[in-house]
């Protein structure tokens, strides 16, 4: 039985060898890597503010599905216990079940004390250790003294709120605040605001469930996507013809020089991109299939390439007001669904990916070393426990500032250059088995012979163009006056 703290100033104090803050993909991959170094006699604590393992998947809208084939979304090389075809895109509940399974598999090798539903207040180094101050749901204050800490916060994604609008005649909601069944069962028109993956998921779900329903899209400046049919083909193309994702990554990074993102974007979209919009200037590494693209394009009643400012009631009518100054009539009772981006809702304080003592590793956008949190959690944890985290001069990019001062395309192509540069350094520093047990590598979709040949070519490109990748990253840093470069001396 949980006992509430009668005196909130009391503090419970204990200690551990490793504390991981965050139980999403970054945290689980950090734990997976740590389990390759720590033994059952060492104490490991996992803390998360949510009541269960799963990170952002606990909070996100119920009809979300994986972007990539499900077997490529995991901790380390832990397999899925799901009887589905390899190309299947798992549902939210299936993803959460698998992430719970990942935690269970890790805990068979290395016991983990899970402290879920706990809010971390601070992580402070002092006296040769790290103090993690947190509060549990029952009101007790805790101080955990850890030898090492991995702050696996990733992109720190939180649910969307409805858009504030002036009109009292429309229903403003977000995918996270309203059950899609309620919208789908109502005949009123829907205005989906946004053009990223959440907007595509929402539009696709609506046109698929209720054919003929009026669904409109307020698409802003537009978004395009990685074409799933090219990145993850089925049939003979998977065996022989389609370029591997890492080969495409290397090709983009080879072309990008830190100034020519518009040119690279045109090349990329023509060869590897897709999307239902005639104009699209944003790219955030989302994935969309030809079938989804066709269904959305056919099902949308109207697309407005503009930004919603407000919905107002005027002279007995209701109108959407756009940033351009244009207006559009809206039927009373219409749904306004906020599907704008989930990242960069707020500014986070800067911190390096590794502390000066090497005792704290931080997985977040302000000093990103790889494009995705799962990759960062996995590889930084390996470096930490191998004693190399302050010896390998990885480049770090302040992703928040790059995105804020530049464009989404700039952010995406900078992330690809960062991946090429740092993965080359990691491949040189870590045993080959570390790379082989990263089952979230997109090249794992392809047969073994193509993976091996791709790995050789990828390593060769990473070494051959290393100076180019570094110059590209330095150029981005100078051009936008953001932190880019190694945080430690090699």
Q: Which of 284, 305, 338 is the last residue of a domain?
A: 338
User: Looking at the structure, do residues 429 and 334 belong to the same domain, yes or no?
Assistant: no
Would you place residue 352 in the very low, low, confident or very high pLDDT band (cuts 50, 70, 90)? very high
pLDDT of res. 440 = 87
The reply to whether 75 falls in a domain is yes
User: Looking at the structure, do residues 334 and 363 belong to the same domain, yes or no?
Assistant: no
CATH of the domain at 308: 3.50.50.60
pLDDT of res. 8 = 53
Give the rounded percent of residues in the chain with a pLDDT score beyond 90: 84
pLDDT of res. 372 = 93
User: Looking at the structure, do residues 147 and 292 belong to the same domain, yes or no?
Assistant: no
**How many domains does the chain fold into?**
2
pLDDT of res. 127 = 85
User: Looking at the structure, do residues 30 and 121 belong to the same domain, yes or no?
Assistant: yes
* 333 torsion bin: left (phi>0), alpha (psi -120 to 50), beta (else): left
The reply to whether 34 falls in a domain is yes
The reply to whether 263 falls in a domain is no
User: Looking at the structure, do residues 333 and 349 belong to the same domain, yes or no?
Assistant: no
Segment 427-455, tens digit of pLDDT: 999 999 998 899 889 999 999 999 999 99
pLDDT of res. 1 = 40
pTM (predicted TM-score): 0.94
Cα–Cα distance list, 432 to 304, 429, 435, 438, 456 (Å) = 49, 9, 5, 11, 12
User: Looking at the structure, do residues 356 and 292 belong to the same domain, yes or no?
Assistant: no
User: Looking at the structure, do residues 354 and 452 belong to the same domain, yes or no?
Assistant: yes
Residue 107 CB contacts under 8 Å (≥ 6 apart), including other chains: none
Segment 94-138, tens digit of pLDDT: 999 999 999 999 999 999 999 999 999 999 998 889 999 999 989
User: Looking at the structure, do residues 334 and 352 belong to the same domain, yes or no?
Assistant: no
Mean pLDDT computed over every residue of the chain: 93
pLDDT of res. 251 = 97
pLDDT of res. 160 = 85
More confident residue, 186 or 420: 420
The reply to whether 207 falls in a domain is yes
The reply to whether 250 falls in a domain is no
pLDDT of res. 92 = 96
Domain that holds residue 326: 171-224+275-338
User: Looking at the structure, do residues 136 and 188 belong to the same domain, yes or no?
Assistant: no
Average pLDDT over residues 297-308: 96
Segment 304-324, tens digit of pLDDT: 999 999 999 998 999 999 999
Q: Does residue 271 register a pLDDT over 80?
A: yes
Q: Does residue 67 register a pLDDT over 70?
A: yes
User: Looking at the structure, do residues 58 and 198 belong to the same domain, yes or no?
Assistant: no
The reply to whether 195 falls in a domain is yes
pLDDT of res. 339 = 95
Segment 365-395, tens digit of pLDDT: 999 999 999 999 999 999 999 999 999 999 9
User: Looking at the structure, do residues 363 and 298 belong to the same domain, yes or no?
Assistant: no
Q: Which of 338, 353, 374 is the last residue of a domain?
A: 338
The reply to whether 259 falls in a domain is no
User: Looking at the structure, do residues 183 and 56 belong to the same domain, yes or no?
Assistant: no
pLDDT of res. 52 = 97
Q: Which of 319, 338, 357 is the last residue of a domain?
A: 338
Segment 39-64, tens digit of pLDDT: 888 999 999 999 999 999 999 999 99
Segment 218-269, tens digit of pLDDT: 999 999 999 999 999 999 889 988 899 999 999 999 999 999 999 999 999 9
The reply to whether 54 falls in a domain is yes
More confident residue, 21 or 181: 21
């Amino acid at each position: 039985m949980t006992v509430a703290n009668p005196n909130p100033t009391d503090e419970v104090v204990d200690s551990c060898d490793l504390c991981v803050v965050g139980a999403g993909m970054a945290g689980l991959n950090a734990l997976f890597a740590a389990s390759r170094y720590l033994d059952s006699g060492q104490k490991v604590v996992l803390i998360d503010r949510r009541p269960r393992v799963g990170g952002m998947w606990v909070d996100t809208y119920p009809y979300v599905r994986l972007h990539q084939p499900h077997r490529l979304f995991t901790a380390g090389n832990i397999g899925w216990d799901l009887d589905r075809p390899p190309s299947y895109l798992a549902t939210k509940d299936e993803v959460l079940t698998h992430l719970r399974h990942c935690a269970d598999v890790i805990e068979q090798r290395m016991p983990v004390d899970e402290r879920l539903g706990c809010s971390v207040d601070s992580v402070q180094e002092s006296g040769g250790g790290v103090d993690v101050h947190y509060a549990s749901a029952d009101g007790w204050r805790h101080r955990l003294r850890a030898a090492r800490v991995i702050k696996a916060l990733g992109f720190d994604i939180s649910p969307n709120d409805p858009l504030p609008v002036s009109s009292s005649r429309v229903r403003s909601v977000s995918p996270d605040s309203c059950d899609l069944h309620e919208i789908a069962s109502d005949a009123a028109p829907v205005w989906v605001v946004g053009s990223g993956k959440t907007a595509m998921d929402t539009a696709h779900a609506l046109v698929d469930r209720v054919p003929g329903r009026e669904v409109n899209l307020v698409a802003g400046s537009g978004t395009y996507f990685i074409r799933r049919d090219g990145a993850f083909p089925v049939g003979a193309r998977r065996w022989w013809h389609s370029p591997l994702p890492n080969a495409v990554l290397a090709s983009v990074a080879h072309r990008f020089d830190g100034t020519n993102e518009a040119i690279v974007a045109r090349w990329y979209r023509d060869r590897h991109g897709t999307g239902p919009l005639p104009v699209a200037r944003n790219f955030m590494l989302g994935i969309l299939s030809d079938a989804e693209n066709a269904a959305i394009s056919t099902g949308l009643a109207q697309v407005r390439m503009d930004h919603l400012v407000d919905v107002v009631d005027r002279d007995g009518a209701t109108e959407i007001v756009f940033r351009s100054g244009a207006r559009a009539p809206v039927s009373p009772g219409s749904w306004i669904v906020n599907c704008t981006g989930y990242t960069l809702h707020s500014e986070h304080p800067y911190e390096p990916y590794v502390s000066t003592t090497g005792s704290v590793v931080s997985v977040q956008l302000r000093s990103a070393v790889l494009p995705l949190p799962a990759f960062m959690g996995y590889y930084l944890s390996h470096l930490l426990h191998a004693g190399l985290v302050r010896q390998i001069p990885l480049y770090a990019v302040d992703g928040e500032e790059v995105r804020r001062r530049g464009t989404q395309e700039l952010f995406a192509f900078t992330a690809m250059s960062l991946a090429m540069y740092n993965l080359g350094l990691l491949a040189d520093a870590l045993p080959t088995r570390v790379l082989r047990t990263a089952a979230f590598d997109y090249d794992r979709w392809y047969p073994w012979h193509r993976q091996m040949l791709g790995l050789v070519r990828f390593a060769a490109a990473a070494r051959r163009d290393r100076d180019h990748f570094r110059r590209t990253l330095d150029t981005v840093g100078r051009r936008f006056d953001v932190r880019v470069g190694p945080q430690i001396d090699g």
